[in-house]
Amino acid sequence: MSTIKQVQVTFDCAEPERLARFWCEVLGYVVPPPPEGFATWDEYKGSQSPEERDSWFACIDPSGAGPRLYFQRVPEGKAAKNRVHLDVRVGTGLVGEERLAALEAECARLVPLGAVHVQTLYDGDDACIPMQDPNTRDYQFCAA
């Protein structure tokens, strides 16, 4: 039996490219090269039917260490709380006020990108800032 070495995280959303580009900024990911045979993503999109165009987009970790993120357009809106979300790990190893300061700085960086600050959770030792992404607020993530 083989061992799985790679995973891809797939998101259902309304605007795949917008959400992928947001996560590129959050995580330092990049947009991969366009499919073989196309010089640019615009050229690739121009080759697709109107129904296919803008139906998906992806981003990758340039170091190859993190999973590929794949965003696919779906017609239905979000109906309930997500069962999976991404935790952006910030201030790892820090505690107390230092951790809170690191999280608040990351929150301040992400809000201009379109993230929404939901709340700040802080108990004196540990902290977390749940946030929502800019694409119709489909995904909650936590700067933790």
Domain limits of the chain?
A: 8-73, 87-143
pLDDT at 139 over 90: no
Confidence of residue 69 (pLDDT cuts 50, 70, 90): very high
- Whether 62 has a pLDDT exceeding 90, the answer reads yes
Asked whether residue 12 carries a pLDDT value surpassing 90, the answer given is no
Q: Are 15 and 75 in contact (CB under 8 A)?
A: no
Report the sign of the C-alpha dihedral through residues 61, 83, 88, 109, in that order.
positive
Per the CB < 8 A criterion, the answer to whether 144 and 88 are in contact is yes
Please tell me the distance from the alpha carbon of residue 57 to that of residue 10, in angstroms, as a whole number: 10
The chain-wide mean pLDDT, for the chain, equals: 86
What does pTM read for this prediction? Answer: 0.81
